[in-house]
Structures are given as structure tokens and as C-alpha cells.
Amino acid sequence: MNIFVCIRLTSEQTSRLQKALPEQNLLFHPALESDPAARDAIDSCQIVFGNPLASWIADSPVLSWVQLESVGYGEYTDLDWLKLSTRVQMTNLAGFFSEPVAESILAGILSHYRGMSCLSNLQANRKWLGDELRPLLKTLHGAQIVLFGKGDINRRVAELLEPFRCAIQSFGRNWQRPELQNALSKADIVICTVPDSPSTRGVFDRNLIGSIKVGSLFVNFGRGSLIDEAALAEALESNHLSGAVIDVTKDAPLPPDHRFWACPNLLLTQHTGGGTADEIDRKIDFFLANFDRRQRKEPLHRSVDFMKGK
Amino acid sequence: MNIFVCIRLTSEQTSRLQKALPEQNLLFHPALESDPAARDAIDSCQIVFGNPLASWIADSPVLSWVQLESVGYGEYTDLDWLKLSTRVQMTNLAGFFSEPVAESILAGILSHYRGMSCLSNLQANRKWLGDELRPLLKTLHGAQIVLFGKGDINRRVAELLEPFRCAIQSFGRNWQRPELQNALSKADIVICTVPDSPSTRGVFDRNLIGSIKVGSLFVNFGRGSLIDEAALAEALESNHLSGAVIDVTKDAPLPPDHRFWACPNLLLTQHTGGGTADEIDRKIDFFLANFDRRQRKEPLHRSVDFMKGK
């Protein structure tokens, strides 16, 4: 069987995968578009490990399974899954990143509340402000929080927040605008962790951002398509929002002239939220476990249902 | 009665204190040493609110109560309390800062684990590294932690760490060197929150710092006198320790030529750990409540016992 591998691996990880699948023919093409042979190679493969271009999946004649290396699958939602799902199954890594992402979210919030970015910048300039900074700091204890998204990540965020005795309101798939606006108008912190999908694109438009309480902190670790980036930048520049922690942007890497680079009190975490030292090895573990299930004709873990949008 | 006030107040806070104590004569001298009239003024006072010079307390003829504006009282431990305690009582703010300090400690740890200082520096240079950073990040979940100090702050730290399911070992007043060294040799994170006292000075000497596990993160939010600063700097420069979060230093402000400014992976939080927007107002609340107790001849809260060293 031919397996198309478009995930970036070290030589150790490459040989680990090869040793684990000695009877399979692994075709490594991590560079995708910039690799002229990749397009032809995928057409001969039954399985993909990694995130190929969406159009390649649609046209691939023998493909039957794609194991994504991400939770997000927004780039594939526009394919004709009504037709495609009869022959191709897609699995993602839902839940895989909830611990590191939730920890990055809390890191970003506490950094903002306890002045860490400011302190780090002062240190770079060997400047000691000390006592002058103390009145600018806040405590998270008892804060009003809106969680937008009820998936694994925000569930873990809620667990990490428990000792802080925050007042938390969560909004899932069936959120209603009046209730959400009401909650946002009282929120000290808004934490968004929803995937890209037709129903989440542009939800945080100028109007909804405008309804957030003055002085709030806005956190987005889902997908950049959720928000109107210009409206968020304006809310920070006008001091309507006291800060933002942004892991995901519509374009990544962020273009050099993007307003976010210089937005006051905006921390860009550069889509590192899910990162850990053993991330790729754990992805290989996950793929191999699903591969074994496939060989035993068992249901694969974390199958994406494009009809339901999850 | 004359009350010497050497805490920095806004004009609103000054008038709030005056209105709350209409029958008392308040003498405001926040500048202390650089205020030529301060030394004479304190000699006429029965009460001090704030942290005066230690020598002034020893010589002050009518003084009977000092309400410190800090938890720390290390600068007063060398006074002759055996004699002094018959006429002067000192109260501190023990417990007052445990929430903000514990939150700053967790902020510092998570910032280190999730790369926040690095991300903030990259952003200042409009540099996007993204995926390259992910393998450098760690999760706090399940980490081995040594808490040195069993007071209010570390108790709150332990509560905040609960959802991370860390393995925590705590050491209080009766710590033994072999047990501590053994714990340090396995610790991912060492968190120190002990006050300055004859028994804590220099405890983390070159030898004890040398016994900490390679790659650990060292956190000190107690007092700078606990550690050999040169040995800590070397441990960071040699990559024995992966990082440090340092709120307290022997000298504050830190001298411009101090090694800590440029130590790799050391974050200086500039003794802001206890800071909150309402800090001074809460200090005034605490002083006024203790003043009322004194007027009613009730025991004062948070009396410092220099014989026991707590």
C-alpha cells in the first residue's frame, strides 16, 4: 500500500515510521506545493498522513483515508463531501492539543494580568520600574469569563480556571446572539476556541466585538476566520479592549505590514498553542494506532463528519 | 495621638485616611531618608503606618505600634526585640499578597513553559517563527515541583496547581538538607516564598543550587537574601537551569551592572508580585481595622513574633 506522508519529520522520526510499517510504501513529500513530484505521488496513494492541499484530495483516484496532523479541517470543508465521503474518510487530532493549548491560554491571560510582557520589555532595556507597575496589575480571581466554544480545549480551560473561582459562561454550537451579547457586555475575558467552518466564519464582527465590556481581554486560539481583524485592531487601538492574546490569524505567517504587529497590548503567540517537545512523536503514535485499527477493520478514532460539521 | 504615615498615597487616599481618623494627628512623610523632617517627626509618634528605617524604631521614644505595609520584616530582625518588644508591637500584612503573588508565580512559570517572553521579543522585532518554536514548548501538567516555604503564598500556589496534577513536595521551617537535596534533584520547578530571617539567609547557596535537577526552572518570590545570586547566575549561564523567575533581589532596584539583567531565560518581575490596582486601598483598610482593634484594646491582627521568627 502507498502512504503519502506530508508531515515534517526528523530523520529519526522518518525511520521510526518506516520500521513500524515495514510492508508499506511510504512516500515522503512534506514540501507539498513547492515539490513538483508531490502531486503525482499522492495520486498513487491509498492513505495520507498530514495535511495535503484540498484539491488534491478531491481528485485523488485511490485515496481512502486522510489522517490530518491538526484539529482544524477548515480548508477541506468546501469539498463536495456528500460525494467524497462515500470513498474517503478523514480523521483529525481533536483533543490532542487541549492540554498545551489550554496552558498557553492561561499563560497568555496571566501574562496580561500580571504584566509579564511589559516586564520582559523593561528587562531588555535594563529599566527598573518596580513599584510604579504594581497598581497596573490585576488578579484573575473571581473574573467574569465567556468561553466561546465547548470543545476539548475550553473544557480544559475551565478545569484550569477552577481554583480562580471565576464566573464562567460557555457558548457552544447553539449560541444565540442576544444571550452572547449580554454575556460579552459583562465579560472580563473572552476566550474563543472554535474551529473554522461556514458557521463560525466572521462571527466576531465589528458589532459583536463592539458589545464586549470596556477593558476586557480577548483571547483567540481557535481559527483566525472567526474575527474581523480590522475591528479587533481598532478595539485595541481605541483602548476599548485592554488586551488580546492571538494565536491564530487569517494569514500565517502574519504579513509584515499587518496591524496586529503593533497593536497595543496584543500578544501574538504565532500558532504555537499546541506545541510541545514530543508533539510530532505523539502525532506518529496517533497515526500508527489509527493505522492498526484500519488493518483490523475497526472504526478509526476522531473521524470528521463533514455533514454535521464536527 | 500622632501617627507617622510613610506609605505613598494619592491625594484621595490621604483624605480618606484623614476622614477615617478625624481625632488623630497624621504626619505624612513617605520620602523617609530624603525628607529632613521625617526623623524628627517619627520621634513624636505613637503609631507608624508604613515601613520606616529600622534604626528610627529603636530610638523612637513614644512609639508603641508599627503597622508595616509589607509581609516581609527582614530589615527589622536585627533590632534588639528582647528589649524592644516590651514597648513596641509590629504587625505585618501576612496573607495579604498571597493571591496576586501566587498568580504572578503561575504567570511566570506558564510564560516560561509556553514561550511567552520569547514570543513577546519576536513580536517587538516583527519576526514570525511559528512552527519552529513549537518543539521548544513544555506543558506544566504532571511536573515535579518543590515548594520551599509553607506559608500563605505557597499554599495558594498549590491550590492553583491542582488541575495540573503536579507531584508537589513542600518544605517548611523544619526542612532537612538531605531530604531537600533529594527533592531538588528530581524537581522540574523549585518555588521559593520564604521571608528574610537569620535562618533563611543564604540557604540556596552554590552547593544547594548545584543539587537542582538539570533543566529545572527556579522561582523566587520570597526575599533575595535566600540565594547566592552569583551561583544562580552561573547556573543559568551554563544552562544547568533552563530558566528563572525572580521577583526579589538583594538590591532593589537592581543595579545597572547586575548579572541578572542579561542572564539567559531569567525573567525579572521587579518585586511586582503583590501588586494590584486596589493594593493601597486594601492596605488602608487593613490599617484602619487594626487601629479600631487597638482602640477597643483587642489583639491586633498579624502581629510579628520576633522571638519565634514569624
Q: Measured between beta carbons, which residues in chain A are less than 8 angstroms from residue B129? A: 270
**Closest-CA distance of chain B to residue A266, Å:** 9
What is the pLDDT, as a whole number, of residue B98? 96
Instruction: Number of A to B CB contacts under 8 A, please give it.
Output: 186
With a pLDDT cut of 90, the percent of chain B lying above it is 96
What is the pLDDT, as a whole number, of residue A25? 97
What is the pLDDT, as a whole number, of residue B307? 80
Q: Is residue B224 within 8 Å of B248, Cβ to Cβ?
A: yes
Put simply, the answer to whether A128 touches B276 (Cβ < 8 Å) is no
Nearest Cα residue to A48 out of A83, A76, A10, A6: A6
Sign of CA dihedral A169, B112, A93, B127: positive
Residue in this structure with the C-alpha cell 484530495, named with its chain if needed: A57
Put simply, the answer to whether A134 touches B267 (Cβ < 8 Å) is no
Which pairs from A120-125 meet CB under 8 Å and 24+ separation? A120/B116, A120/B117, A120/B120, A120/B121, A120/B267, A121/B120, A121/B124, A122/B268, A122/B270, A123/B261, A123/B267, A123/B268, A124/B121, A124/B124
Mean pLDDT across chain B:
96
Q: What is the number of H-type helices and E-type strands within chain B?
A: 11, 11
Q: Measured between beta carbons, which residues in chain B are less than 8 angstroms from residue A271? A: 130-131
Q: Measured between beta carbons, which residues in chain B are less than 8 angstroms from residue A117? A: 116-117, 120
Put simply, the answer to whether B252 touches A128 (Cβ < 8 Å) is yes
Find, in chain B, the residue whose alpha carbon is nearest to that of A165.
B160
Shortest CB distance from A114 goes to which of B104, B123, B139?
A: B104
Render pLDDT for B150-159 as a digit per residue (tens, 0 to 9). Answer: 999 999 999 9
What is the pLDDT, as a whole number, of residue B155? 98
Give the residue from A10, A110, A189 with the most B CB atoms within 10 Å of its CB, the best one to mutate.
A110
What is the pLDDT, as a whole number, of residue A310? 44
What is the pLDDT, as a whole number, of residue B77? 92
C-alpha cell at A297: 477493520
**Closest-CA distance of chain A to residue B156, Å:** 9
**Higher-pLDDT residue of A95, B90:** B90
What is the pLDDT, as a whole number, of residue B310? 45
As a whole number of angstroms, the distance between CA A178 and CA A168 comes to 17
**Closest-CA distance of chain A to residue B163, Å:** 5
Put simply, the answer to whether A103 touches B141 (Cβ < 8 Å) is yes
What is the pLDDT, as a whole number, of residue A84? 95
What is the pLDDT, as a whole number, of residue B309? 55
What is the pLDDT, as a whole number, of residue B90? 98
Put simply, the answer to whether B130 touches A252 (Cβ < 8 Å) is yes
Put simply, the answer to whether A268 touches B123 (Cβ < 8 Å) is yes
Render pLDDT for B284-306 as a digit per residue (tens, 0 to 9). Answer: 999 999 999 999 999 999 999 98
**Closest-CA distance of chain A to residue B286, Å:** 17
Nearest Cα residue to B220 out of B253, B251, B263, B189: B189
Put simply, the answer to whether B126 touches A256 (Cβ < 8 Å) is yes
**Closest-CA distance of chain B to residue A146, Å:** 20
Find, in chain A, the residue whose alpha carbon is nearest to that of B163.
A160
Helix (H) or strand (E) holding A91, with range, is strand A89-91
**Closest-CA distance of chain A to residue B263, Å:** 10
C-alpha cell at A67: 489522517
Shortest CB distance from B99 goes to which of A116, A139, A274?
A: A139
ipTM of the complex: 0.88
B251-266: average pLDDT:
96
Give the pLDDT of chain A (310 residues) as one tens digit per residue: 999 999 999 999 999 999 999 999 999 999 998 999 999 999 999 999 999 999 999 989 999 999 999 999 999 999 999 999 999 999 999 999 999 999 999 999 999 999 999 999 999 999 999 999 999 999 999 999 999 999 999 999 999 999 999 999 999 999 999 999 999 999 999 999 999 999 999 999 999 999 999 999 999 999 999 999 999 999 999 999 999 999 999 999 999 999 999 999 999 999 999 999 999 999 999 999 999 999 999 999 999 998 875 4
What is the pLDDT, as a whole number, of residue A307? 80
Neighbouring residues of A84: CB distance < 8 A, sequence distance ≥ 6: A57, A58
B179-183: average pLDDT:
98
